[in-house]
Every structure is written in C-alpha cells, then in structure tokens.
Amino acid sequence: MDVVPSASRLSSSQRWSLLAGVYAFGCATLTAALLSGMLGVFAEVIGLPPRVSMAILASPAFVAGAGIWWALVERRGAYTYPAGAAFGLLTALATGAAWTVRFVSVWSLEMLTAGPVPLLVGLVLGTAALAGTLVGLPIAYVRRRSASRPGSAATANSL
C-alpha cells in the first residue's frame, strides 16, 4: 500500500503546489542565509543547531508555500502576477509568524516586547515580506507560461 502517492498520480495542481512549496523553502533558506546575522541570534536563543539553523528556520515555508499556492493559485486557477506576489508575501509572513510563535513559546510574550526585540522581529518580517513578494513573481511567470502552452492540462481545465 502506497502511503505517499507517486508523482505520476498527482494532478497538475498538486504537482505545482508541491513545487511551489519546494521553491518557497529554497527561497526562504537563501533569505535566511542572507539575514543570518540577525537570524543567527534568534536561532541560538531558541536552541537550534547552528549548522542547519537557517534551513530549519526556512522549513515552515515548504508547508505554508504548498498550501498557500494551492489556495491562491491552483484552486482558483489564478495564474496571475498578483496571485504569485500574494503567495510569496503570505508564505513569508506565515513562516515568520510560525517562528515568532515558537520564540514566544520558549521565552514568553514579555520577551517579545523587551529592548530591541520588536525592532528586530519587525525588520526580519518586513525583509522577509518584501523578499517573499518578489520571489512569488518568477514562479507565477513559469506557471502562466506552462498554463498557456497548447495541450497543457491547465489550459484544458480553464476552458
């Protein structure tokens, strides 16, 4: 009995959603690496292993990215740039929110308001939101191109 369906049995929509999750994870890992100066402190404070902390911090982007892509793009058949930008923005904010909740669960809500912490959280979430919005556009472009190819499943479904 197959617990995980093979890629050939997934619908085009499911494949694109998984691809969007992988893409979001890759982009989030790159963004986390670029912000590692700030995020390294955060990762250390909540006890993440230093060697893989940036990938761990990016990990919620896979699940959030796949789900958000499906909800905003695939389910609605909205292969548009605004939908792609919204996908990136919401994925980045969901990932940031997941880790903010984790930080609060480790250090309490009071710590989130102490000293420069709100500024750092705001800076990281703002940077991630901007990066997310921008990285949502290339995958929207690729999805639009794939949907507009003659004979593609997306074209057949949208008629």
pLDDT of residue 158: 41
Q: How far apart are CA 159 and CA 135, in angstroms?
A: 28
Q: Is residue 1 part of a domain?
A: no
Mean pLDDT of 113-123: 86
Q: Is residue 124 part of a domain?
A: yes
Q: Is residue 46 part of a domain?
A: yes
Q: What is the pTM of this model?
A: 0.83
Q: Is residue 104 part of a domain?
A: yes
Total tally of structural domains belonging to the chain: 1
Q: Is residue 76 part of a domain?
A: yes
Mean residue pLDDT of the chain comes to 88
Mean pLDDT of 103-125: 86
pLDDT of residue 116: 86
Q: Is residue 3 part of a domain?
A: no
Q: Is residue 60 part of a domain?
A: yes
Q: Is residue 155 part of a domain?
A: no
Mean pLDDT of 12-30: 95
- More confident site: 154 or 54: 54
Residue 24: both structure tokens together: 């979001």
How many CB atoms lie under 10 A from the CB of residue 75? Answer: 11
The pLDDT of residue 100 is above 70:
yes
Domain that holds residue 35: 21-148
pLDDT of residue 35: 84
